[in-house]
Amino acid sequence: MKKLLTVLAGVVIALSLFVTTGNTVKAAEPDGDCTCHDLLPIQGPERNKIVADFLSSKEFQAKKLELIKSGSTWNGAHTIEVVLPAEGVTMVGVPFISATGIPEVYVFINGTFVGSAPAE
């Protein structure tokens, strides 16, 4: 009898989860002229593959050697951020600490160095 009550209570709970109406969330309609993109960093295996290809590129190797010769330090591959802002565009940010101790991010777009910015 005890098992039967347990099973019936479980069925009632399960049915109440599936039968009750939930709060449906509706996404906002995008504006026709909005070209906004969500620039969250890529993570996981996709990021690791992009970073591995990037680290072996001649452009990065040359810039890294130049920065290290000038006294900057690099914390390693785990600090690299990868963003895909548009179709066919890969943006990679590599943080370095300058010889004076100021953190800077060196940005590469599709493997080409485009500039640096102070890290926030």
AA identity, residue 5: L
Specify the pLDDT at position 3: 66
Return the closest-CA partner of residue 93 out of 73, 114, 67.
114
Q: What is the pLDDT of residues 33-63, one digit of tens each?
A: 545 555 778 889 999 999 999 999 999 999 9
For residue 115, CA distances in Å to 22, 72, 75, 108 come to 49, 15, 19, 7
Question: 0.95 cut: is pTM over it?
Answer: no
Q: Phi and psi of 33, rounded to 5°? A: -100, 10
Start-to-end CA span in the chain (Å):
65
Instruction: Determine contact, residues 75/106, Cβ cutoff 8 Å.
Output: no
Specify the pLDDT at position 49: 94
| DSSP string computed for the chain | -HHHHHHHHHHHHHHHHHHS------PPPPPTT------PPP-THHHHHHHHHHHT-HHHHHHHHHHHHTT-EE--GGG-EEEEEETTEEEEEEEEE-TTS-EEEEEEETTEEEEEEE--
> Which residues of the chain are modeled with pLDDT < 50?
34
